[in-house]
Structure 1
């Protein structure tokens, strides 16, 4: 068997989700983003993790924190096979009106580097917390949902304090090519509403279209057009949630010249039409 699932609880876009899996073969996660916070803990193997606008080499004992709506994707590095635990939770799960809430809980999601490389003692502590979560979610004893919140709050507080005590080393790109691709991604993130083509961007950043296409995919895990479309749809979601603008105007504002193409791409990436997405957000 190529993978062994130890635990699956909830759904990625739900209030709380936890998934523990061990894989022995090559695996590449589809490009995605979601409206929940994500904590990723690698137990074994190595992964390349592209988050927002740069890529990281993730090793066992690394805790990764991904903010809501940040684009991310994992892919293999070296030998196939890895084991990891993923936790997703919504704003509702630890709401600011709840007694457990404290603003510092969310500091780790604003870390410049997204990654905490834990020392052995802290790895053991983190593993113990996650083992307790695993046990509670499997046994579902009375009050287990409350205990899960307590454990999650403990993990977030521990992580925030660890980040404060252990100042991260300045982020260094793996190579000048990684830096170049990061610059291209940052340009897309800031200028998604403009017309963008592979040829035009390759000229702007002094690369051949073929070389840029190949290295962009190699470093980010996305094709150039996948990343552009995903960035535009993510911004469209923001406008659908937070404004009353017409859908046709939103499509134009995020860079889609054709409303039908916008609709198809939105449904492909979110499984909902723009109208369905807006309606669902207003009901929640």
Structure 2
């Protein structure tokens, strides 16, 4: 079975499981609307079409045969370019997916996700190999023959190993040439990432970076796919989640540390983005330990 003959949508696992796979053939306009960061590691592979991919503090133009590696808890978002139709697969791995491997093997397979360059542009030979692996994996997922989950795991390990070796072999890529607008937005994002604990007012940042408020909001959305205030809230809530999991600070202390002006606003924003109140989130995370 070829990728072209697969159903328009395939799913395996869920966000709460060790392995989660999504294949989609999308016709028409599509952009991610929701906040997007997760504990799992992610491989995004584009079979067809073009996409804009924002990750960390940069935006990339993704072509067919491109692979994007998303580290755990990295904020990212895809949005459309001139060609809306696209076909992609997304593979998520929880840390527990590697539990049966040695620490050395785990470190090797996770090497690509910490690399400074999240985009891998495959040559034709590499693309054929990767699409053969993915095609075999997705065919098993579509037909579900006996032992298909074992086959999927084997294909996943092969893909991770290929990606790790490819990352270790490649020479440092030249800096991607950014437009002046992209450079401006990148500088603003880096400022937010460093100063999210402090007040971040649109009018002040606009003056600091010599740009009008309206233009800042417009180009920030165009480049990242996120609204200006939305990105600040995502950055603060992501840090709040970390503190609620890893410290015994009170919820009020967490709120203040992450830059929220008042506790009520913190609770509202946190629940909107995480789906739970801060206290409920902490209780759930403690129950998983």
- Normalising by structure 1, we get a TM-score of 0.93
The aligned counterpart of 1:35 is: 39
Does the CA-based 8 Å contact 1:21-1:85 persist in structure 2?
yes
Query: CA, structure 1 residues 87+239, in 2 after alignment: closer, same or farther (shift >3 Å)?
Result: same
Residue 214 of structure 1 pairs with residue 218 of structure 2? yes
> Following superposition of structure 1 onto structure 2, how do residues 1-284 of structure 1 map, counting pairs within 5 Å?
5-30=8-33, 31-95=35-99, 97-98=100-101, 101-284=105-288
Distance 2:8 2:251 in 1: 40
Partners of 2:98 and 2:106 within 8 A in 1: no
Contact 1:94 1:149 in 2 (8 A): no
* Distance in 1 separating the partners of 2:262 and 2:177: 37
**1:143 deviation in Å?**
4.0
Give me the whole-angstrom Cα distance separating, in 1, the residues matched to 2:39 and 2:235: 14
d(CA) in 2 for partners of 1:132 and 1:99?
26
Distance 1:102 1:35, change over 3 A: closer
Q: Is the 8 A contact 2:39 2:94 kept in 1?
A: yes
Aligned partners of 1:91 and 1:267: how far apart in 2? 25
The aligned residue for residue 4 of structure 2 is none
* CA distance in structure 2 between the partners assigned to 1:168 and 1:123 by the alignment: 20
Q: Is the 2:236–2:259 contact (alpha carbons within 8 Å) kept by the matching residues of 1?
A: yes
Q: Name the stretch that deviates more: 146-155 or 16-25.
A: 146-155
In structure 2, runs of 5+ residues without a counterpart are: 1-6
Deviation at 1:76, TM superposition (A): 0.8
Q: 1:200 to 1:239 in 2, by over 3 A?
A: same
Worse overlay, 169-178 or 183-192: 169-178
Deviations 1:171-213, CA, capped at 9 Å, x for gaps: 2242121111101101111110000111011111111111111
Between 129-138 and 259-268, the greater mean CA deviation after superposition: 129-138
Count of equivalent residues: 280
- CA offsets per residue over residues 241-262 of structure 1, 9 Å max, x none? 1111111100110001211111
Whether the 8 Å CA contact 1:13–1:36 is kept in 2: the answer is no
Which deviates more, 99-108 or 39-48? 99-108
Distance 2:249 2:88 in 1: 41
CA contact (8 A) 1:61 1:118 kept: yes
Q: Contact between 2:56 and 2:76, CA under 8 Å: does it hold in 1?
A: yes
> For structure 1, which segment, 261-270 or 10-19, has the greater mean C-alpha deviation from structure 2 after superposition?
10-19
> Residue deviations 1:27-56, cap 9 Å, x none?
111231111111100011110100011100
Asked if the contact 1:50/1:56 (under 8 Å) is kept, the reply is yes
Instruction: Supply the distance in 2 between the matched residues of 1:34 and 1:13 (Cα, whole angstroms).
Output: 10
